[in-house]
């Protein structure tokens, strides 16, 4: 077992995209089933989905043998100074909760350009000025959180956003502060957008600060390409699939991560929104078993 890569999961793997949504499982069910599936580490998910009072959250996690790896925030830093100010305050709010529970990682996801119904809400490509606002804002935000909270801000490339393809990911890393800006390598989103996860790991080994583990179904990706599907529709069609049934292939990917020889969280984050409430647990249990068999842990069966 690799003791430098700690396995966890996230509310996303239970179909949770929003703080409150009747289509989603209640947070108590998520925590109960996370423990039942064998995981010991979790992410917060959307701020407000899990309790935000530190003492209550600590009790809820502790009673189930769970620990917190980090949280996530969406931001549209390409929108300029006002957007950066909002992101600073939202990240501070989340960083206070994370650090109260001993977590050190905050995942920043870029604002997407499509809505749940596929509506394009803003231009697909950024101007040079907007790109500078995005990369400069990320560098400023990461340094602020590091200096104020000793929290590592890691950037999450995302399908249907302005940092999606491998080319854009590499440009983003070149244009941001290497001392403070690290990458949350989401293996599913990179593969969804036609990228090569292992190539990114090898090209930017010092920038890999956190990992979201997921696979994509090549058949659904072919539909995305052929029909011009937006991301939410692709998810509804099952684009994100449990291992070992999709790509990227997990064993060589995990070997590349082990070769970094650094401490990493590898958080399973399989997009399932929306899904029936009895769907996530069997998938999560099989996924934990498969990744445990690949040498990741801790995984403990409790049900």
pLDDT tens-digit readout, 126-148: 999 999 999 999 999 999 999 99
Residue 155 lies in a domain: yes
Residue 274 lies in a domain: yes
Place 52 in a pLDDT band, splitting at 50, 70 and 90: very high
Q: Please state the pTM of the whole predicted model.
A: 0.96
Residue 298 lies in a domain: no
Total domains, the chain: 1
The partner residues of 154 in beta bridges, in order of sequence, read 107, 182
Query: What is the domain-level CATH number for residue 126?
Result: 3.20.20.150
The partner residues of 72 in beta bridges, in order of sequence, read 107
- For the chain, how big is the Rg over CA atoms in Å? 18
Residue 198 lies in a domain: yes
Q: What does the buried/exposed string (b/e) look like for 15-42 if buried means 16 or more CB atoms within 10 Å of the residue's CB?
A: bbbeeeeeebbebeebbbbbbbbbbbbb
The string of pLDDT tens digits covering residues 73-107 is: 999 999 999 999 999 999 999 999 999 999 999 99
Place 303 in a pLDDT band, splitting at 50, 70 and 90: very low
Residue 300 lies in a domain: no
Q: Containing domain of residue 114, as a range?
A: 5-293
Is residue 114 classed as helix, strand or coil in its secondary structure? Answer: strand
Residue 149 lies in a domain: yes
Residue 299 lies in a domain: no
Rounded distance, CA 208 to CA 182, Å?
Answer: 6
Residue 301 lies in a domain: no
Residue whose structure tokens are 């190539």: 199
């Amino acid at each position: 077992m690799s003791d430098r890569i700690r396995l966890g999961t996230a509310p996303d793997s239970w179909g949770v995209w929003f703080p409150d949504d009747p289509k989603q499982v209640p947070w108590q069910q998520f925590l109960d089933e996370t423990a039942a599936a064998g995981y010991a580490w979790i992410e917060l998910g959307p701020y407000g989905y899990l309790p935000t009072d530190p003492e209550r959250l600590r009790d809820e996690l502790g009673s189930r043998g769970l620990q917190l790896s980090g949280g996530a925030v969406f931001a549209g830093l390409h929108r300029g100074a006002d957007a950066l100010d909002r992101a600073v305050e939202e990240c501070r709010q989340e960083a206070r909760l994370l650090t109260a529970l001993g977590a050190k990682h905050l995942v920043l996801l870029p604002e997407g350009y499509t809505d749940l119904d596929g509506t394009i809400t803003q231009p697909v490509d950024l101007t040079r000025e907007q790109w500078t606002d995005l990369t400069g804002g990320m560098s400023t935000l990461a340094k602020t959180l590091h200096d104020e909270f000793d929290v590592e801000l890691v950037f999450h490339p995302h399908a249907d956003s302005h940092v999606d393809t491998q080319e854009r990911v590499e440009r983003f890393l070149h244009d941001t502060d290497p001392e403070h800006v690290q990458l949350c390598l989401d293996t599913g989103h990179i593969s969804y957008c036609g990228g090569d996860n292992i190539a990114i790991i090898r090209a930017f080994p010092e920038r890999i600060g956190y990992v979201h583990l997921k696979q994509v179904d090549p058949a659904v990706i072919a539909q995305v390409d052929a029909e011009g599907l937006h991301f939410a529709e692709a998810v509804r069609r099952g684009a994100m699939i449990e291992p070992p049934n999709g790509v990227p292939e997990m064993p060589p990917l995990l070997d590349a991560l082990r070769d970094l020889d650094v401490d990493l969280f590898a958080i399973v984050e399989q997009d399932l929104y929306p899904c029936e409430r009895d769907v996530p647990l069997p998938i999560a249990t099989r996924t934990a078993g498969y990744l445990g068999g690949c040498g990741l842990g801790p995984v403990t069966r409790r049900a």
